[in-house]
Amino acid sequence: MNQPYDHPDMPKQWMEGMVPTMNDKGYMFEVLDHIAEEFIEYSGSSGKPALEVGCAYGIATIAALKNGAEITACDMEQRHLDVLRERAPASLRDKLTTRVGKLPDIDLPENTFGSLLCSRVLHFLYGRDVDQSVANMFRWLQPGGRLFLVADTPYGIWRNFIPIFEERVANGERWPGEMEKPVRYLPFEGRNEDGGPPVMNLLCPDQLIRTAEEAGFMVERAEFIDRPDFRPPGRMDGRENCGLVAVKPV
């Protein structure tokens, strides 16, 4: 289901497979992980409205559309949504709704969606906003609705933060992955110390489980995600991302 992304309004890639966002907040990966693939498969076959939060240019949204989903795509950047709508097959655009907004503040209808994907977004939020965002996702999903989450861990491109993260875990801190000016921890030479997002909150499966369960979800599984498509110095040991699949009880 993966597809190359090229559009005149999209920034040029400087690392293969990573499409920069227009607001300097991160990247959309051209390779879909297995959690996103599960969302695409489920959303296309469930017969219930789907939701992607933080969709960027919509690689997962468009794949879900092509698989039969009726989907709402949300992003904080209208320009991303404009690219998404233009790239969506014309015959399927009536099944696509776009909404501008960002977590945790976006207002969406309760008990509406049968599935929800939030991929590589939560790690841009402070811990309190992660909790609020997942609580909101619980409200937006129908009973029986399925939640699919993916987030960054310290074990990929943020590896220089590992000693701090693991020390905080040992000390029992609730959000051991919170870091300000995160670009300082990237293993790239010549990086712009003033660029990138102002904060990152690196996560692991345990934090995803805790947040989902506190929101009311039944967690089916949470795991590290191996990203062999992350080229050096991005890939480390198979724990580059983490993911969760959970269900809102009926």
pLDDT digits (tens, 9 = 90+) for 64-103: 999 999 999 999 889 889 999 999 999 999 999 999 999 9
Average pLDDT of the residues in 119-139:
96
**Domain regions of the chain by residue span:** 18-247
Among residues 68, 60, 8, 67, the alpha carbon closest in space to that of 32 is found at: 60
Render pLDDT for 5-42 as a digit per residue (tens, 0 to 9).
Answer: 455 554 444 444 445 554 555 555 568 999 999 999 99
Pick the CATH number of 18-247 from 3.40.1080.10, 3.40.50.150, 3.40.50.2020, 3.30.70.330: 3.40.50.150
Is residue 244 within 8 A of residue 146, CB to CB? The reply is no
* Cβ neighbour number for residue 37 with a 10 Å cutoff: 15
Could you give the C-alpha distances from 246 to 2, 121, 150, 152, 169, in angstroms and in order? 24, 17, 12, 18, 24
pLDDT at 188 over 90: no
Render pLDDT for 145-171 as a digit per residue (tens, 0 to 9).
Answer: 999 999 999 998 888 999 999 999 999
pTM for the complete prediction?
Answer: 0.88
What is the percent of the chain with per-residue pLDDT over 90, rounded to a whole number? 70
Is residue 77 within 8 A of residue 22, CB to CB? The reply is yes
